[in-house]
């Protein structure tokens, strides 16, 4: 039993110190106040927030409170306390919550991976920035690409992500597509930054005990196993809810509930099943998958948003929930304009912005449109100077209606401005092939970057086809943190993609991916295991 008076004093002190609450505000004038259910839930959430913020900001030693153990020894405030209520909803006292033992200490930010970053705020003052997801703890059971994309993004926003891997094996991508023998591949490192790695055999009883403790102390469990795998591991929703009713369980699956839900899905399968491949490519060619990982990484990004939304809703409900992001659904969401066009086609039998118009025939399904823009502004990829030897000497050119006079001026066809065949957007739709052929005659006299500079001066939308080599060398992308150089202890320095989302008060510092099991001892110590306990678990093959 904890020392109630000491815990109340700590709660009051932490509230006042961190949030500016008065002692009366901190516990609703302490004991005896009638508090409705919703208010109790909000208080419980507020208590955790205050304690976690206080411990993170000032350290456990500063906020140490006496608590008597059964043997009479004093303990630091490494546990949480909850209010006790009488039948008429009066606060009668507080008690130790054994299910959440040591939770605040597990939330302390680690200097190497969760430290804030100094920046200049709007008022000109230099302050230590916090992270948007500071205090959120993720139990990461993901592998390959879709799940790791999700958890890496959460880690970039400050969440403490603990990646659980098999001892001696780890994530399969550690060894896939290796460019340097014997070290983690770029496939793995570029999807697992800012995480901690532990190895754990959850099939063994002691491994299951460790897992249960992690479930009790984490906010979110993320997985992208095959359907039913978690249940076969004994990690059912009911089991998780019993241990931690506030936990959010987030999953990537190939398909949602239905006839395909048990099918195995990879990136290209998702693109095909989600409608992307049928609408990609040229009219006279086969369905084509895109080079962008819209199935794997696209689904991971969708799942990350679902997790953040569930965390936000938990502030109100006080409970966790299941979050599902099927890969087919995510791809379809990114292809919604094609579902739009399917309905347009069924009503009108034609679509004027597609290259099949006006001479080609439309079937009963959305056709492949090559490099047409897919919107109301006709566009195409055109050759630039050097296209004969450079496979990327091209530019995307859009003939936006508002800048049509400028287009005519640039390419040397001023008479087209008043020509009835070209004067209006509707008229131009009948002549897109000769129009783009004439524009290409001009672009072939210019380097793609030179053409872009000229066109931008006239506000004509365009974009050079940039290779990965060109993107990697782009200094502006280094300056914004979109491309980041990371130093790894075994493979050395390499380039990776940084956080694509920039927040003024939550700066991202990309840190290297973990070695296999690198943080096993650290995490177990935070769970309360002694050095001898850890050594025994290692000898027994649990870790």
* pLDDT recorded at residue 374: 67
Burial 405-416 (b: 16+ CB within 10 A, else e): ebbbebbebeeb
Domains of the chain from N-terminus onward: 4-106 (no CATH), 133-333+513-539 (3.40.50.10540), 338-370 (no CATH), 378-512 (3.30.1540.10)
* pLDDT recorded at residue 25: 44
With beta carbons less than 8 A apart as the criterion, state whether 380 and 436 touch.
yes
Instruction: Measure the CA–CA gap between 147 and 526, rounded to whole angstroms.
Output: 25
Count of CB atoms situated within 10 Å of the CB of 391: 9
* Tens digits of residue pLDDT in 341-361: 999 999 999 998 888 888 878
End-to-end CA distance of the chain: 33
For the chain, what percent of residues have pLDDT higher than 90?
A: 71
Residues linked to residue 248 through DSSP beta bridges, in sequence order: 220
* pLDDT recorded at residue 514: 98
With beta carbons less than 8 A apart as the criterion, state whether 11 and 26 touch.
yes
- How far, CA to CA in Å, does 368 sit from each of 59, 106, 285, 357? 60, 52, 9, 12
* pLDDT recorded at residue 21: 44
* pLDDT recorded at residue 359: 84
Which tokens sit at 53? 């913020």
With beta carbons less than 8 A apart as the criterion, state whether 27 and 81 touch.
no
With beta carbons less than 8 A apart as the criterion, state whether 197 and 165 touch.
yes
pLDDT below 50 — which residues of the chain? 1-5, 16-37, 40, 61-127
HEC-encoded secondary structure of 409-448: HHHCCHHHHCCCCCCCHHHHHHHHHHHHHHHHHHHCCCCH
pTM for the whole thing?
0.77
Among the options 134, 184, 201, 296, which is catalytic? 296
Order of all β-strands in the sheet with 462-464: 379-383, 394-398, 462-464
With beta carbons less than 8 A apart as the criterion, state whether 181 and 174 touch.
no
* pLDDT recorded at residue 58: 56
* Tens digits of residue pLDDT in 505-532: 999 999 999 999 999 999 999 999 999 9
Q: What are phi and psi of 57, to 5 degrees?
A: -80, -40
* pLDDT recorded at residue 455: 98
Question: To 10 degrees, what angle do helices 404-411 and 432-443 make?
Answer: 50
Instruction: Measure the CA–CA gap between 328 and 1, rounded to whole angstroms.
Output: 51
Which tokens sit at 452? 């872009």
Order of all β-strands in the sheet with 322-326: 195-199, 160-165, 137-141, 220-223, 248-253, 322-326
- Nearest Cα to 225, choosing from 304, 136, 324? 324
Half-sphere exposure of residue 237: CA atoms within 13 angstroms, side-chain side: 9
Instruction: Measure the CA–CA gap between 39 and 30, rounded to whole angstroms.
Output: 14
- Nearest Cα to 79, choosing from 91, 65, 89, 90? 65
With beta carbons less than 8 A apart as the criterion, state whether 263 and 294 touch.
no
Q: What are phi and psi of 238, to 5 degrees?
A: -65, -40
Catalytic site includes residue 359:
no
HEC-encoded secondary structure of 229-256: HHHHCCCCHHHHHHHCCCCEEEEEECCC
Burial label for 92, CB within 10 Å (0-12, 13-18, 19+), is: middle
Half-sphere exposure of residue 368: CA atoms within 13 angstroms, side-chain side: 15
Count of CB atoms situated within 10 Å of the CB of 38: 11
Instruction: Measure the CA–CA gap between 166 and 144, rounded to whole angstroms.
Output: 14
* Tens digits of residue pLDDT in 54-107: 656 555 544 444 443 434 443 344 444 444 444 444 444 444 443 333 333 333
With beta carbons less than 8 A apart as the criterion, state whether 379 and 396 touch.
yes
* pLDDT recorded at residue 169: 87
* pLDDT recorded at residue 123: 38
Residue written as tokens 């084509």? 288
* pLDDT recorded at residue 81: 43
């Amino acid at each position: 039993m904890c020392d109630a008076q000491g815990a109340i004093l700590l709660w009051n002190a932490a509230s006042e110190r961190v949030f500016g609450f008065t002692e009366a505000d901190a516990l609703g004038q302490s004991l005896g106040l009638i508090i409705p259910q919703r208010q109790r839930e909000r208080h419980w959430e507020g208590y955790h927030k205050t304690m976690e913020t206080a411990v993170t900001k000032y350290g456990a030693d500063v906020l140490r409170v006496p608590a008597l153990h059964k043997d009479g020894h004093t303990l630091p405030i490494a546990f949480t306390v909850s209010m006790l209520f009488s039948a008429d909803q009066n606060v009668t006292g507080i008690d130790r919550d054994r299910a959440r033992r040591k939770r605040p200490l597990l939330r302390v930010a680690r200097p190497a991976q969760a430290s804030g970053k100094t920046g200049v705020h709007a008022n000109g003052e230099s302050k230590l920035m916090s992270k948007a997801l500071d205090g959120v703890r993720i139990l990461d059971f993901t592998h390959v690409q879709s799940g790791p994309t999700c958890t890496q993004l959460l880690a970039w926003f400050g969440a403490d992500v603990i990646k659980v891997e098999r001892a001696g094996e780890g994530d399969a991508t550690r060894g896939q597509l290796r460019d340097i023998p014997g070290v983690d591949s770029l496939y793995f490192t570029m999807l697992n930054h800012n995480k901690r790695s532990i190895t754990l055999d959850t099939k063994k009883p002691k491994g299951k005990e460790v897992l249960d403790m992690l479930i009790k102390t984490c906010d979110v469990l993320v997985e992208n196993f095959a359907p039913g795998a978690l249940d076969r591991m004994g990690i059912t929703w009911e089991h998780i809810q019993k241990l931690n009713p506030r936990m959010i369980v987030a999953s990537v699956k190939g398909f949602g509930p239905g006839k395909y839900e048990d099918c195995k899905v990879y990136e290209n399968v998702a693109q095909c099943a989600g409608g992307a491949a049928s609408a990609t490519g040229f009219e006279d060619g086969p369905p084509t998958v895109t080079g962008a990982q819209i199935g794997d990484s696209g689904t991971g990004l969708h799942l990350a948003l679902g997790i953040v939304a569930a965390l936000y809703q938990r502030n109100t409900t006080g409970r966790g929930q299941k979050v599902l992001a099927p890969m087919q659904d995510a791809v379809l969401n990114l292809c919604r304009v094609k579902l739009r066009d399917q309905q347009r086609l069924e009503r009108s039998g034609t679509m004027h912005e597609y290259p099949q118009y006006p001479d080609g025939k439309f079937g009963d399904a959305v056709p492949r449109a090559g490099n047409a823009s897919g919107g109301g502004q006709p566009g195409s990829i055109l050759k630039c100077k050097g296209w004969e030897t450079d496979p990327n000497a091209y530019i995307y050119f859009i003939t936006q209606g508002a800048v049509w006079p400028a287009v005519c001026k640039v390419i040397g066809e001023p008479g087209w401005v008043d020509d009835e065949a070209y004067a209006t957007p509707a008229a131009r739709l009948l002549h897109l092939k000769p129009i783009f052929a004439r524009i290409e005659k001009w672009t072939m006299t210019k380097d793609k970057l030179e053409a872009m500079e000229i066109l931008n001066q006239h506000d004509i939308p365009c974009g050079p086809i940039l290779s990965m080599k060109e993107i990697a060398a782009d200094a502006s992308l280094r300056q914004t943190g979109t491309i980041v150089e990371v130093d790894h202890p075994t493979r050395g320095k390499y380039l990776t993609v940084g956080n694509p989302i920039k927040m003024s008060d939550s700066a991202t510092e990309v840190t290297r991916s973990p070695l296999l099991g690198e943080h096993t001892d650290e995490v177990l110590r935070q769970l309360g295991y002694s050095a001898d306990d850890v050594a025994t678990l290692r000898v027994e093959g649990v870790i």
